[in-house]
Amino acid sequence: MGTTREKNIKGRKRQLIVDTNGFVLRVRVHAADISESEGGIWLINEHREALASLDIIRTDQGYKAMFVEWVRTYTSSTVEVVKKPKDQVGFAVLPKRWVVERTFAWLGRYRQLSKEYDCRPESTEAWMYLASIDILLNRLHPSI
């Protein structure tokens, strides 16, 4: 596990690529000392063939210009950084960004994903995929 530079907290970061409905397409879990931009590049690079049809990638302000330039250079996608309004004070729901936050909330309802229980990031990724499969199956047939 790494330590975040900003918050000085040990842990992991979880990065998701979701569709417009918030359903998980791809997951990457890595040490907290790796920036969002680096982790995003790893995530997209690992799954480049599967994500070739992505037109727009929306990110929050944690993704720096390096990530935007890399996506522009190596993929056919464009990056749209969702920024908070300049006059905003306190918390506000950002357009389009809430889709990913809602997905994290859905996944956080599963006990195994509520905290970082696993020793290996691959185990957490597997649990995230299993939870997303359960979410999709419940959407298809809620009574089971």
Three-state SS letters, 100-130: HHHHHHHHHCCHHHHCCCCCCHHHHHHHHHH
CATH label of the domain that carries residue 51: 3.30.420
2-50 pLDDT, tens digit each: 555 555 556 889 999 999 899 999 999 999 888 999 999 999 999 888 8
65-91 pLDDT, tens digit each: 899 999 999 998 899 888 877 887 777
Output the pLDDT for position 2.
53
Backbone φ and ψ for 36, nearest 5 degrees, come out as -60, -40
Domain range holding 96?
2-140
Residue 69's contacts (CB-CB under 8 Å, 6 or more residues apart) are none
Count structural domains, the chain. Answer: 1
Which of 43, 138, 50 is CA-nearest to residue 100? 43
Across the chain, how many H-helices and E-strands are there?
A: 5, 5
What residue type is 141 in one-letter code?
H
